[in-house]
Every structure is written in C-alpha cells, then in structure tokens.
Amino acid sequence: MTNASFLPIAILTVLSLNGFSQSNAPATTAPATATTAPAATSPDTAKKNNPLPSVMAGVGVLYFNGNIGKGSGITAYTTIRGGYTIGVEERPVSFLGIQLDAMFGKLAASERSDTPSNNLNFQTNVMQFELTANLHLDGLLLKKDAPIAPYLYTGFSFMTYSKYTDLYDAAGQPYYYWTDGSIRDVPQNAYDVSTANASNNYHVVHRSYNYNTLVATGSTECVPIGLGVKVKLTDNIAVNVQAAYYFTFTNSLEVYSSVANGTAKDKYLYSFATIEYHFTRKQESHLDETRYQNVTMDNSFIQDTLKKNDKGISAADANRLDSLYNHRDTSAVDRSEAFNAHPTEGALKAQDQEEIKKSHDPNKVPPRFRPADKNHDGYISSQEITEAIDEFFDGTSTMTIADINGLIDYFFDQ
C-alpha cells in the first residue's frame, strides 16, 4: 500500500479520533511534561463538574405540629395536606449543592372537645421560597457516579400565608358546639339538652370542611433541616425523595395563638418526591477540523487536499505524491481493509525508503513524536503512525490526541 493511499485513512481516523476518545478513552494518561500537550478532560469528569444546573418538580404532604390538633377526634385528614414544589440546584463542587425552591401548599389542624370554646379548626394556605445548602455524599463518601446517594440540607425560608377557618355548615349556618359533643345550628342555651336529644337529634349538623372564612394574612421566616435520597435513573434524570422539618418564627399559622401553650412556635414536616433533570454542556472538540473542511468521500480529495495545504510542499514532494496518487488503489473500502489486514504491504520499495531515511536524523524528531519512531531511524512511517493510533486506543500510549494530530502533520512535513 502506498503512502498516498494511507492519507484518507489517516485523516478520517483523526476526524473520528476526538469523538471516539472522549467516550471510550482509557483512564491511563501520560504524565504531563514541558513538551507534551495536556490530556483532554474526559466527558464523565466534565459532566460531574459541569456548572449547569438541575431543575426539579414534585409533590408531597405537609404535617402540621402546633398549638392545636392534640384533642379528641383527630384523624390524618385533620393535620395532613398536600403541596407541590419546584426548584433549581447548582453544584459548584461535586459534593455541595446550592438550591433555590418554591413550595405551595396548605397547613391544617382541628380538634374536638366537650368544652365548646376548645372546638377549633383552621387551614392556612402557604407560599414559601427557600435557599438551601445540600451536602451530597456522592463525591464525598461515595463514588461520584453512585446510583443511589443520600444527602443532607439546611437553609433559610421565607413564607407568606393566608389563614382560614370553617365556621359555617353547608347551608351557611354557624356551628354551635354543645357540651354533649354534638354540633347544632342553635346555641345550647336555647333548648334543653335532654329535650333536644329526645327529639331524634333535632338541630344536629355536620361540619362542611369548607375553610372559607379568611381570618388574617401574614409572613414569617423558617429554618428547614432535611435529608433526602437521590436515585439516578439516567445520566440526566434522577428521582429525589426528601423530608424536612421546618421551624417557623411564629405561633400564628393556626389562627388561635391564644390557646393553651399558644406561645410555642409552629412547626411542620414536609415530605415529598421530585423528578430532577440535569443539564449537561455539549462537549466541544479541541481538534481544529477546519483544515479538513475540503475532505470528501471521493478518492479525488487526496490531490485537492495536498494542493490546498496551507503549509505548502516542495515541487519534488508534490511530484512524488502525485505519482503515488496516480498508482493508488481504486476502491477506498478495499484499500482500508487491505491496510488493516496487511499494513506492511504496498509501502515504498526498500531502496526508496533507504533514500528517504538517509536525510533523517533520529535526534531531530520532536520529543513528543519519538515514541512513534519504533525503529529509531528518524523517519515516521505509515505503519508507525498506525501503531501509535492502536496504542492510543489500547491505553498503552504516552501520546495524547494532540500528539496524534501533530504526528500526522509531521509525517507529511518530514
């Protein structure tokens, strides 16, 4: 095989080398020296240190813990409400995330008592914005690509709220709580209790659970302390399961701040799950591909490329390469397969090689290309370039992608 027929293989190999090495390059990398180009960052490392953020959205439940809701007749419905959250997180380092969230939900509680004044209920609509610092164990105690990784977080939240209570039944009549535990549409002192009970629960009503009486609006600050688990489904998609306990700076979320133990600050638990999408920056090639912009799959590109080489070649070299081109194989596929099967066949004749090598000095080969000069004759042959590329893919080469690219330039300049 001729040197000219090697040109399309070499150029097309380099064109694909950058993309292939980014996704499959082995971890073995030569130590950097003054004459060795720095190794390119692998896509996995770039992705883990990628400054682009993640976005997430999900739903959960809020459980209120305040001054009411501790009497009789308490069920899950009286203290649990739904909420949803959206957020964005950026990880400046692999184990630390800075997250901004918005949460919209409700807090509620109620209790029943034989004492009419202690029959209380409320529902508060909340809108909350928070900034948290997330300590991720992947990248700290676990591998960076751990499929399941827990994390801890805390921060600061600002909440606005609107407080409502349920004071009227479905017909719009006010509730009257009697000492026998019933709810009626008339005050207890209007009828004798025993007479009312004997009259088949006359005037007994039931709560509508429509919190339509606005009591007040306000705002407060909160401090969350939470933990979560991230389950990575793909490189870009993960599921987060989280729970945080919020300590507020108010005791008025529940409407009734004057009840027994009313000085205690309100608290609540928010448990939720989110779907997260992680944006990744498109990896840009460091290979200058403009020099190959005239390359096509037609065999005639060889001669055109040589003539347009901005480095220029001597008339003698041009004539020699033209001669080699004129005696090239006609099938690019056959030429490539034959070269891979028998790389030593089709090379210059021995006497031609000796003439060329007489003018070469092994010490004049640039240091970063010397690993490719296997026979130390000062001349880089097509077979030696092929071996250098094979060693790069095998992980046994000390040369980088920049070195391989430069080696092919040197091959035509020598």
pTM for the structure as a whole: 0.57
In a domain, 199, yes or no: no
- 């009828």: which residue's tokens? 191
Which band of pLDDT confidence, cut at 50, 70 and 90, is reported for residue 48?
very low
Q: 111 and 78 in one domain? A: yes
Backbone angles phi, psi at 80, to 5 degrees: -110, 130
Torsion of CA 353, 355, 356, 360, to 10 degrees: 120
Q: 34 and 80 in one domain? A: no
In a domain, 183, yes or no: no
Q: 67 and 27 in one domain? A: no
Query: Which one of 278, 302, 331 terminates a domain?
Result: 278
**Is beta strand 148-165 parallel, antiparallel or unpaired with respect to 176-177?**
unpaired
Query: Which one of 234, 254, 278 terminates a domain?
Result: 278
Q: Token digits for 188?
A: 């207890």
Cα separations in angstroms, 324 against 14, 320, 332, 384, 412: 22, 6, 15, 19, 14
In a domain, 247, yes or no: yes
List the one residue out of 339, 320, 332, 327 whose CA is nearest residue 385: 339
**Which ranges in 123-275 belong to alpha helices (H)?**
193-198
Q: 373 and 273 in one domain? A: no
Q: 64 and 21 in one domain? A: no
Mean pLDDT (the chain, rounded) = 75
Measured CA to CA, the distance from residue 351 to residue 104 in angstroms comes to 84
Q: Token digits for 340?
A: 């891979």
Q: What angle do CA 88, 90, 96 make, to 5 degrees?
A: 125
Predicted confidence at residue 317, as pLDDT, reads 64
Q: 120 and 96 in one domain? A: yes
Q: 25 and 89 in one domain? A: no
CB < 8 Å & 24+ apart, contacts of 20-26: 20/393, 21/392, 21/393, 21/401, 22/283, 24/393, 26/394, 26/395
Q: 335 and 254 in one domain? A: no
Concatenating the DSSP letter of every residue in 350-378 gives HHHHHHHHHT--GGGS-GGGGGG-TT-SS
In a domain, 244, yes or no: yes
Q: 253 and 155 in one domain? A: yes
Q: How many domains does the chain contain in total?
A: 2
Measured CA to CA, the distance from residue 158 to residue 128 in angstroms comes to 6
Tens-digit pLDDT profile for residues 102-125: 999 999 988 888 888 888 889 999
In a domain, 204, yes or no: no
Predicted confidence at residue 47, as pLDDT, reads 44
Q: 239 and 107 in one domain? A: yes
In a domain, 175, yes or no: no
Least confident span in 56-65, 84-93, 135-144, 222-231: 135-144
In a domain, 132, yes or no: yes
Confidence check: pLDDT of 267 > 90: yes
Task: Work out the average pLDDT over 132-148.
Answer: 93
List the one residue out of 88, 109, 131, 135 whose CA is nearest residue 268: 109
Q: What CATH code is carried by the domain that includes residue 68?
A: 2.40.160.20
Q: 115 and 22 in one domain? A: no
Q: 105 and 233 in one domain? A: yes
Burial of 98 (0-12, 13-18, 19+ CB in 10 A): middle
Predicted confidence at residue 302, as pLDDT, reads 47
Query: Which one of 220, 243, 278 terminates a domain?
Result: 278
In a domain, 162, yes or no: yes
Q: Which residue range forms the structural domain that includes residue 223?
A: 53-166+209-278
Predicted confidence at residue 26, as pLDDT, reads 41
